Amino acid sequence: MQLNRTLKTLMVLVVFLIAALAQGLDTRPLYKTQEVRVAETAREMLVSGEWIVPHYNGELRLQKPPLPYWMTALSFRLGGVSEAMARVPSVLFGSTVALILFLWLRRSVSLGAATNSLLVLASSFICMRYFRSGEADALLLMFVTAASVAGYHLQSGRILSAKVHHAWRLLFFVAIGLGFLTKGPAAIAMPVLTVVAFALLMRQPASLRQYLYLPGWLLLLLLAAGWYLLLLWQMPDAMQYFVQRQVDETFIRGNHAQPIWWYLGRIPEFFLPWSLLIVPAAIWLWAVRPISMPVTYALVWFAVAFVLLSLTVNKQTQYALLLAPPLAVLLGCYLDQAQGRLARFNRWFVYGFFALMVVALAYLLIKRPWLEVWTPAWVLLLLPLLAVRLLKLDSLSVPVLLVASLFAMSYVYSEDHASGESQKTEARDMAAYTAGLVPLFQTKPGDGALSYYAIKVIPPLDETGIETELQRHDAIWLISEQPVQSGAYRAELQYSVGKLQLWKLRKIP
């Protein structure tokens, strides 16, 4: 009976994940820098057949490890090169993160906490943003989450069979190794430090001996370092390039440097609408005693991630995604277990959010015709609510599902209706206009979206490169974001869209 109830609940949650994350993936053009880099590097990898040395706009792309490019290239191979297939991996990886938390908490806490945590995670602003985008962050989050949950099972004190214990240890090391191959050292630091901090907090330092596991470390080394060794074999100077561009920019100087408190001020924004519950959840944690082991582990996990992110010089929005799983666990357990005044506050939170969404919808209907407001999201995201009623599930909180569905609907709607903005479509429009023009180039550093939509590499050129090409050709075509002026050649503006301009350059006789 319990299994049947769990399966029914999981069916509803999967419908929610599909509706919230998988619809409308092909309506938005690729324009965000990180998304374009992954998609175009994967496209060039697929076309060239060169899977070891990534290229972007025809130039080396060694700043990041290659696993996200491989996953996107595989997606392109299976479903064709498109915006939707560029984003499908993130949908799958993000959904996997949510399901990992669900399966962990269903067994360790309760079915109610598991469902709440999944809904909080999947409908938070930052997760809606990166689980629907073709970037590398959802993949990294999946491996960090898998390693952290494996670490919990190893530290929980439960008597595991030798076979099960071996499987959890292998998962821990495999997830860390693949995480490193996704986006570097963060995949190692967060799970390892979380396990160490939790063991020390629980006064169980001897439990750390189980990680002195030679097969696991060898497997981690193979997964994490295998590509780098192949790369060094083909390109002996690659390691210096990696250290300069990856380690130096991220951890020492930082090309996105921010003050140490930067994430603290952005958490309320990143985790809307559920960030409104952080203060009452903190009050609940302070009042409840004793704190359960899964909740304690989530607190340690969140603290480790927050400290590491704050101490890192480079700070960007997508890095805060690493805070999402432990925060979703804490809020999910709070929503499931809070009583008294806090439970009443939660109800007012739901009613207030529902009223706000009704007002917003009424405003849209007044300002725009109904057909402009209509979107499939309004139906697809109401299906889970309907399924709860039809299946008579008391394990799934209808108020929590209602808030999650309404926020996801509003996010999908806003994203869909913003996709036609000129700055988001200009690369696609320029690529369509320049089809058939040769030789065609773009000014450095270049925009990978131009190459992606042209379905060919449009090489970037600097001033010296332009003069070199004009020695080989009577005229060339150049896409630039700035007016092109030089005494060495004649430049004629042919077309412009947004900030992009197409110039025809000729030699001066």
Three-state DSSP class for residue 252: helix
Task: Find, among 189, 176, 181, the residue nearest to 229 by Cα.
Answer: 181
Q: Is the model more confident about 265 or about 96? A: 96
Q: Assess if residue 370 is contained within a domain.
A: no
pLDDT of residue 1: 44
Task: Find, among 35, 29, 44, the residue nearest to 451 by Cα.
Answer: 44
Question: Chain-wide mean pLDDT for the chain?
Answer: 88
pLDDT of 102 strictly over 60 = yes
Q: Which of 171, 202, 236 is the last residue of a domain?
A: 236
Three-state DSSP class for residue 131: helix
Q: Assess if residue 82 is contained within a domain.
A: no
Q: Using CA atoms, how far apart are residues 117 and 98, in angstroms rounded to an integer?
A: 8
Return the percentage of the chain with pLDDT > 90, whole number.
Answer: 60
Structure tokens at 17: 């994940």
Q: Which of 236, 255, 277 is the last residue of a domain?
A: 236
Give the chain's domain count: 2
Q: Using CA atoms, how far apart are residues 100 and 290, in angstroms rounded to an integer?
A: 25
Q: Assess if residue 231 is contained within a domain.
A: yes
pLDDT in tens, 39-55: 999 999 999 999 999 99
Q: Using CA atoms, how far apart are residues 247 and 257, in angstroms rounded to an integer?
A: 14
Q: Using CA atoms, how far apart are residues 428 and 425, in angstroms rounded to an integer?
A: 5
Q: Assess if residue 279 is contained within a domain.
A: no
Q: Which residue has the tokens 């192949």?
A: 230
Q: Assess if residue 141 is contained within a domain.
A: yes
Least confidently predicted of 24-33, 156-165, 430-439: 156-165
Q: Which of 179, 211, 236 is the last residue of a domain?
A: 236
pTM: 0.93
Q: Assess if residue 121 is contained within a domain.
A: no
- Cα 457-463-467 angle, rounded to 5 deg: 90
Q: Assess if residue 448 is contained within a domain.
A: yes
Q: Are 29 and 425 in contact (CB under 8 A)?
A: yes
E runs forming strands in 17-91: 55-56, 59-60
Q: Assess if residue 401 is contained within a domain.
A: no
Beta strands across the sheet bearing 475-480: 460-461, 440-443, 475-480, 500-507, 489-497
Residue 467 domain boundaries: 423-507
pLDDT in tens, 271-280: 999 999 999 9
